[in-house]
């Protein structure tokens, strides 16, 4: 087990500086254009693939970093560059986490490389959990997967929504209900291979922020996949469902996590790192602006009203990062989230991003309200962090339930 540290090692610092350079030199100059176009920035993803950032090897090296700091550090740097482009680069990672959290070694080795493609032919992947009537309420999920024993195939029907890369992905990971009477414990995850008949893109959403990232509905109409596409395999699913039947209603019994929740638990600190990156970007820009913007014959940072705001912004960003790092270290080292530390990190960092970007707009005044300055875009982008992968209200619910032991509603 790695000791917890707040100091990056030499290798991590080298990676951080490399990513920072890519964010500053490649992502930022293109950010406004792709935000306006509201299209997937394929040329930027391809450039990231060519230099090794968009790849299975890079993602795995950060994900399995035993200090726990590799992935949040890398995420923060990319989202410091631009949230929309960064999510286009990192969106595949959520599907990859879904496979890593629930799949067999064979499934991991087979499907994750296909999610990324090659530098000359980049691909993306999508994780599909939310539905029109089942967002935070995962127990309300309606997408059904029925096993056809004669053909050893699963037949999947339903509609998913808010799917990053949905419909344009090479590989989709879909969460579906396999045993409705067990509620959220009766869910399982499935790989939908490329070009599978019956899968199509529904509505593509025009969003307030992160507009360079593709978000759409995914429609599954009698989609048939081989039995080998059930993440974890049939035997493991049957065992899990049997345990759920026996113990779900038993006080103090084993907690059985559903497939979507296992993925979200692993990814919440990463979302927190995304928020830290955006907040830090807004703080950095506001600080430099305040040093150079002259009003009444002096830089506006000379005024306590501005300087104290920047002090609060910096303190909040650093505090958010520490919560993210703690949760990431705990997750990598198998420490239980007895205080819902993953949700704490996501909650505080996402709320920090909204507040800090709003403060940056305020410091820039009228300029901050225009698209000529990037803090306007950062403020729009930050709005998503308190919503996706569990709203702030859901994070508070998770934390409250965890610290109290009471099933608070």
Kindly give, in sequence order, each residue whose CB lies less than 8 Å from that of residue 126, ignoring residues fewer than 6 positions away.
Answer: 91, 95, 163, 164, 165, 166, 167, 168, 169, 171, 172, 173, 218
Q: Which residue among the candidates 77, 265, 376, 389 is catalytic per the annotation?
A: 389
Helix, coil or strand: residue 122: strand
Task: Indicate the SS3 state at residue 215.
Answer: strand
Query: What is d(CA 35, CA 50) in angstroms, rounded to the nearest whole number?
Result: 23
Query: 78: which residues sit within 8 A by CB, 6+ positions away?
Result: 19, 22, 23, 27, 53, 86, 89, 90, 277
Please give the Cα distance from 241 to 244 (Å, whole number).
Answer: 5
**CA 81/CA 188 separation, integer angstroms:** 35
Q: Are strands 171-177 and 125-128 parallel, antiparallel or unpaired?
A: parallel
153 is catalytic: no
> Is residue 123 a contact partner of residue 115, using CB atoms and an 8 Å limit?
yes
Token pair, residue 3, equals 């000791």
C-alpha–C-alpha distance, residues 381 and 251, integer Å = 42
The position carrying tokens 């997937």 is 40
Active site residues: 389
């Amino acid at each position: 087990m790695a000791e917890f540290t707040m100091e990056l090692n030499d290798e991590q610092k080298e990676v951080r500086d490399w990513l920072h350079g890519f964010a500053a030199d490649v992502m930022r100059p293109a950010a406004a254009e792709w935000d306006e176009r509201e299209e997937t920035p394929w040329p930027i993803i391809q450039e990231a693939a060519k230099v090794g950032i968009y790849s299975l090897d890079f993602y795995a090296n950060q994900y399995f970093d035993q200090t726990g700091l590799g992935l949040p550090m890398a995420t923060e740097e990319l989202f410091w560059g631009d949230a929309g482009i960064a999510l286009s680069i990192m969106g595949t990672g959520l599907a990859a986490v879904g496979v890593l959290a629930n799949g067999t070694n064979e499934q991991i080795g087979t499907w994750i490389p296909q999610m990324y493609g090659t530098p000359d032919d980049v691909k993306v992947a999508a994780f599909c959990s939310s539905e029109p009537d089942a967002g935070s309420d995962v127990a309300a999920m309606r997408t059904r997967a029925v096993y056809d024993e004669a053909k050893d195939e699963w037949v999947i029907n339903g509609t998913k929504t808010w799917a990053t890369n949905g419909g344009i992905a090479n590989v989709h990971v879909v969460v579906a209900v396999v045993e409705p009477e067990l509620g959220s414990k009766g869910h399982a995850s499935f790989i939908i291979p490329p070009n599978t008949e019956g899968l199509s893109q529904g509505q593509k959403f025009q969003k307030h922020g992160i507009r360079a990232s593709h978000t759409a509905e995914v429609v599954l109409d009698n989609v048939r996949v081989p039995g080998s596409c059930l993440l974890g395999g049939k035997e493991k699913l049957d065992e899990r469902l049997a345990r759920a039947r026996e113990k779900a209603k038993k006080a103090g019994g084993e907690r059985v996590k559903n497939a979507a929740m296992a993925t979200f638990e692993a990814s919440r600190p990463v979302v927190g790192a995304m928020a830290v990156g955006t907040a830090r970007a807004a703080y950095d820009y506001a600080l430099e602006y305040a040093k150079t913007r002259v009003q009444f014959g002096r830089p506006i940072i000379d005024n306590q009203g501005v300087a104290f705001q920047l002090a609060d912004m910096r303190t909040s960003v650093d505090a958010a990062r520490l919560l993210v790092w703690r949760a990431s270290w705990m997750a990598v080292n198998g420490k239980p989230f007895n205080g819902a530390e993953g949700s704490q990190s996501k909650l505080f960092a996402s709320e920090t991003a909204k507040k800090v970007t709003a403060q940056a707009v305020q410091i820039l005044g009228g300029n901050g309200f225009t698209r000529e300055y990037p803090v306007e875009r950062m403020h729009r982008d930050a709005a998503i962090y308190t919503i996706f992968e569990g709203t702030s209200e859901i994070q508070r619910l998770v934390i409250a339930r965890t610290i109290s032991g009471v099933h608070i509603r």
